[in-house]
């Protein structure tokens, strides 16, 4: 179930929990069998903390499973994506730090939904 403040995407949705000059925090939900685009950012680093679900994380050439309570740091410039390979929604908290947090800092390298 989503709330009116949620930003809908083809893979799920997110809610911005904090948006300040020095950080941005999102609660991201990924539907079963869906994944975010393979992407990178030039102006921010990210930290992902898994709240629930079974996920597969791509970070540059590596892949790792992440479960509830695990986290990963994503340095700026690193290619990354997360996919939900479980039967229930996967939820994680994304903490962005850096100099800019706009959605136009997303460089999509691959996308299942035809977005550029």
Predicted confidence (pLDDT) per residue in 83-114, tens digit = 999 999 999 999 999 999 999 999 999 999 99
Say how many domains are in the chain: 1
User: Is residue 40 included in any domain, yes or no?
Assistant: yes
Q: What is the pTM of this model?
A: 0.93
- Taking CA atoms, 107 is separated from 38, 54, 85, 92, in Å, by 9, 25, 24, 21
Residue 96 domain flag: yes
Domain encompassing residue 50: 7-109
Residue 115 located in a structural domain:
no
3-state secondary structure of 103: helix
Residue at 116 is within a domain: no
Residue 17's CATH number: 2.60.120.10
pLDDT of residue 116: 83
Tokens 């930290």 locate to 47
- In a domain? residue 48: yes
Q: Give domain status of residue 102, yes or no.
A: yes
Tell me, what's the pLDDT at 54?
Answer: 95
């Amino acid at each position: 179930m989503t709330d009116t403040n949620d930003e809908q995407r083809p893979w799920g949705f997110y809610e911005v929990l904090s948006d300040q000059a020095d950080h941005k925090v999102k609660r991201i939900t990924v539907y079963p069998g869906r994944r975010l685009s393979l992407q990178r950012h030039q102006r921010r680093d990210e930290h992902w903390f898994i709240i629930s679900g079974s996920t597969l994380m791509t970070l540059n050439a590596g892949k790792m499973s992440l479960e509830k309570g695990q986290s990963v740091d994503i340095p700026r410039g690193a290619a990354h994506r997360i996919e939900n390979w479980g039967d229930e929604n996967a939820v994680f908290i994304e903490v962005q730090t850096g100099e800019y947090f706009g959605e136009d800092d997303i460089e999509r390298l691959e996308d299942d939904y035809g977005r550029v």
